[in-house]
Amino acid sequence: MKILSVVGTRPNFVKEALINREFKARGVEEVLVHTGQHYDYEMSRVFFQELDIPDPDYHLQVSTGLAGKQTAEMIRGIEEILLNEKPDVTLVYGDVTSTLAGALASVRLKIPVAHVEAGVRTSARYNPEEINRRTSDCLSELLLANAQDAYDELTKENHVGSKIVLTGDIMNDVLVNTVDRFKIPVQRGNYHVCTLHRAENVDDRRNLTEIVQALIRCGERVVFPVHPRTRKRLVEFGLINELEAAENVETSEPQGYLEFVRLLAGANKVITDSGGVRREAYILGKPAIIAIKITWFPCILKAGWKIVAGPNTETILHAIKSFEPPAEHPDFFGDGRAYIKIVDAIMEQFGS
């Protein structure tokens, strides 16, 4: 059995780590394609090293730019690889451009697609990730849901001809494994962590200014690893000097996975617009302040462990000062064996 896996961003790399290991353990041939969507070294290569992922068999090195151009370049590159490798199935992860490109290229060649993290939904119709995920789900024969909410959404949508499997969240598997393996202490520390990268925030001068002002004015220690795209906009909008001059804010370059887990594990609260980081925060018992009006994983919101502040200075400030979660911390993301269930489902569905 031959599987072609498409990755391109930090969340993809994290999920691929354990899947790759499980494929090897079962003697499954995996061809790994890195689209190059995260082109910065710190956003890409370091994850392969820290998570023990082998070097990609193919690296497309797709250029940045308009979404349509980037998607087209990925589809063209992946299509050539598919024609050469002739896999039994293509495996895609999450909701990024690489996900959509891998799914589109495969179905055009009548190669079935398995989608890890299928079924996550929001009401943000024009959000790029929402478009990628919904389209990829429609194209996939095997829909692998990471939480009950996602499974329920897929069931309601009635994906005729597709199999839906509730596996749990592989991000949970990797995170718990990393904390245990490296004996990382998990505690509510004396600093907050901030991550920002969504286009709705960083490409909008007003939204980015509102969030930056909240970080500066809160007066509490904030550690802010700055995504390359975010740094570019901070410079362009004239915000970088004030941010870096603030005594309470510590900016840094993007961090590797292990370094970021250590940082997150010791944080008090997390301010983020990331769908992945809000899950990592929840798994580690950190209250999350969501700086975007999009509610991925409503189960965390209903449980009282995140608050949707949006890109608003006063709302974020209030949450930093007063938001606290309840004592109850339900297990939404599985038993730490999602990677095994994912490989089981793939082999059952597509194995000869």
Name the catalytic one among 197, 227, 318, 329: 197
Predicted local confidence at residue 67, as pLDDT: 86
293 located within any domain = yes
Q: Any idea what the CATH number is for the domain that residue 30 is in? A: 3.40.50.2000
Which of these, 265, 299, 271, lies nearest to 285 by C-alpha position? 265
Low-confidence ranges of the chain (pLDDT < 50): none
Predicted local confidence at residue 352, as pLDDT: 65
Predicted local confidence at residue 43, as pLDDT: 59
327 located within any domain = no
- Crossing angle of helices 170-181 and 338-350, rounded to 10°: 140
Residues 102, 212, single domain; the answer is no
Q: Which residues constitute the domain of residue 309?
A: 180-322
Summarised one tens digit per residue, pLDDT across range 29-67 is: 999 999 988 756 555 677 788 888 888 999 998 867 788
Tell me the C-alpha distance between 24 and 3, whole Å.
11
Predicted local confidence at residue 327, as pLDDT: 97
Residues 73, 96, single domain; the answer is yes
How far lies 12's CA from each of 175, 249, 250, 285, 321, in Å?
14, 29, 27, 23, 33
How far lies 95's CA from each of 55, 89, 186, 205, 209, in Å?
22, 18, 29, 25, 27
Residues 117, 31, single domain; the answer is yes
38 is catalytic: no
Residues 338, 286, single domain; the answer is no
Residues 151, 206, single domain; the answer is no
Instruction: Provide the sign of the torsion angle of the four alpha carbons 150, 157, 90, 61, taken in this order.
Output: negative
Predicted local confidence at residue 123, as pLDDT: 86
**pTM score:** 0.93
Predicted local confidence at residue 64, as pLDDT: 73
Q: What is the dihedral of CA 109, 110, 116, 119, to 10 degrees?
A: 110
In the chain, what are the helix, strand and coil shares in percent, each to the nearest 5?
50, 15, 35
Residues 343, 244, single domain; the answer is no
328 located within any domain = no
